[in-house]
Chains A and B, each alone.
Chain A
């Protein structure tokens, strides 16, 4: 029965199209189930997850002190040579020489946000910040020095 099958096929096809269109119609009338983020306009209310890996930073306390001892564990852990630790020798009040960081240079343009440096750090001196939108006009702006000028190591960190 060619004709019966043909007509069945046509009606079956029309039904399948109607089922799909019903679903489209449902969303057309239910706006609240659509979850579009108005990204550039919602900057004020946008909250990034606290573990989001945006960039490596070194937190300083109110006395301009950090926790970095200059042990270069982060430099060794980094797969891309993103971090370069430049060390110097401080003179302690007792007159002893003590290793300290001069600069901790961080190349954001090389960083893949793998978090290995943060895990490797024994004194929790570096953390991941939740910043994003890193684009700049000049590539050299992405090379950052993480320790602030004239900062010192916190007391009690060895």
Chain B
């Protein structure tokens, strides 16, 4: 007798995966209803690291709240900060100097590569391969060192301020980034040799976790998850912010909609990021790195929304201002939350062993989901 997927009947096994299992990418708790080894239903349980960041931001000034957002999606901290800075600039109508715009995009793309590197290593480790994890960290270390030199921190940089960036670039920045480009171009081919072409890896990825373009849109997925289903949604292309409109790069699309398509999106996206960095690294304009702003920022009364493309998808900041020095209400639209909601749909009917592969390609960062 074939039982209906999605309902719990007598004899079903309900198991808890997480919150401490390494394959659940942090503090994620999944309640899984199993029939034999087939997944019937997945319920993500959240709240293990809830810090009420949105509420906390209401008591911080516009200069102060930006640093909090790096604690959400800590792997693309820089891009989160960029979104917040853009939102404040939109409200205040601050003109950002050309140099600051270029620095911001350079840092964003370096962060995107670093985030995808870590994802690639962790993803391969979820599937049982240990070597790629070290290889990924080796290249990520080069980016971290560049970040440490210029921004002063490796993970939670807090480099963006309303009107520009906090400090000017380190004198060694250009040389180090050029060295990194040469290193990375050599190493990304190794990734294909090690993992992409591997038969075990392909068998575990192809056809696993399929989501159709319609369903992906309906669940509000964004970033590589939606683009893996063939839907064009790169915020950098459709709603360009900063200087992205003037840059020459491709929006990466795959049509298969399975885990392997999402994998290929991220691998190809890293190459596009390198292309953006190559265009900018020799053309950093001279001038101010931050616009002159008042010591105390006051947004005019109203509502402001900006969005950016982080490594995981669309990140939006919505500020309601009453005209004071602190926001009246802040809401973050984080990509991980919507992507996770599609996990139940993807996983229904597949085997428990494939769940880890699916979760890996969603690239979940739990503080981003559970703010």
Contacts of B151 in A (CB 8 A): 51
Contact B152 A77 (CB under 8 A): no
Please tell me if the beta carbons of B166 and A79 are within 8 angstroms of each other in the complex. Answer: no
User: Which residues of B lie under 8 Å from residue A53 when comparing CB positions?
Assistant: 152-153
| Docked-complex contact A114 and B198, CB < 8 angstroms | no
CB distance from B114 to the nearest CB of A (A): 16
Q: Once the chains bind, are B170 and A51 in contact (CB under 8 Å)?
A: yes
Enumerate A113-130 residues with CB–CB distance to B below 8 Å.
Answer: 113-116, 119-120, 128
By size class, the interface of chain A is 20 to 34
- Say yes or no: B198 contacts A22, CB within 8 Å: no
A35 touches which one: B141, B150, B158, B198 (CB < 8 A)? Answer: B141
Q: Which residues of A lie under 8 Å from residue B161 when comparing CB positions?
A: 119
In the complex, chain B residues whose CB is within 8 Å of the CB of A3 = none
Grouping DSSP codes into helix (H, G, I), strand (E, B) and loop, the B interface class, with mixed when no group exceeds half, is helix
A29 within 8 A of B: no
Among the listed B141, B158, B193, B197, which residue makes an inter-chain contact with A114, where contact means beta carbons less than 8 Å apart?
A: B158
Q: Is B334 interfacial (CB-CB < 8 Å)?
A: no
Q: A78 — which chain B residues lie within 8 A by C-beta? A: 64
Q: Do B152 and A79 touch across chains, with their CB atoms under 8 A apart?
A: no
B199, A112: Cβ atoms closer than 8 Å? no
Out of B152, B195, B200, name the residue touching A128 (CB < 8 Å). Answer: B152
Known: A24-B131, A49-B148, A53-B152. A17 touches B63 (CB 8 A): no
CB neighbors of B among A46-94 (8 A): 49, 51-53, 77-79
Return the contact of A52 from the options B153, B166, B167 (Cβ within 8 A): B153
CA–CA, A23 and B198, complex, Å: 12
Question: Bound state CA distance, A116 and B67, in angstroms?
Answer: 9
Contact status of A13 and B199, CB under 8 A, knowing A19-B193, A79-B60, A116-B64: yes
- Pick from A12, A22, A77, A115: contact of B166, CB under 8 Å: A115
Q: How far, in angstroms, from A77 to B64 measured CA to CA in the complex?
A: 7
In the complex, the answer to whether A23 meets B166 with C-beta atoms within 8 Å is: no
A residues 1-44 with Cβ under 8 Å of B? 12-13, 16-17, 19-20, 22-24, 34-35
- For the complex, what is the distance from the CA of A95 to the CA of B194, rounded to whole Å? 78
B64 near A16: Cβ-Cβ < 8 Å: no
Q: A19-B197, A49-B149, A49-B170 are in contact. List 6 more A-B contacts (CB 8 A).
A: A13-B199, A51-B148, A112-B67, A113-B158, A115-B152, A115-B158
6 pairs of residues in contact across A and B, judged by CB atoms under 8 Å: A17-B200, A20-B197, A23-B193, A24-B131, A52-B152, A112-B156
Which of B's residues lie within 8 Å of A, judged by CB? Answer: 60, 63-65, 67-68, 131, 138, 141, 145, 148-153, 156, 158, 161, 166-167, 170, 190, 193-195, 197-200, 202, 295
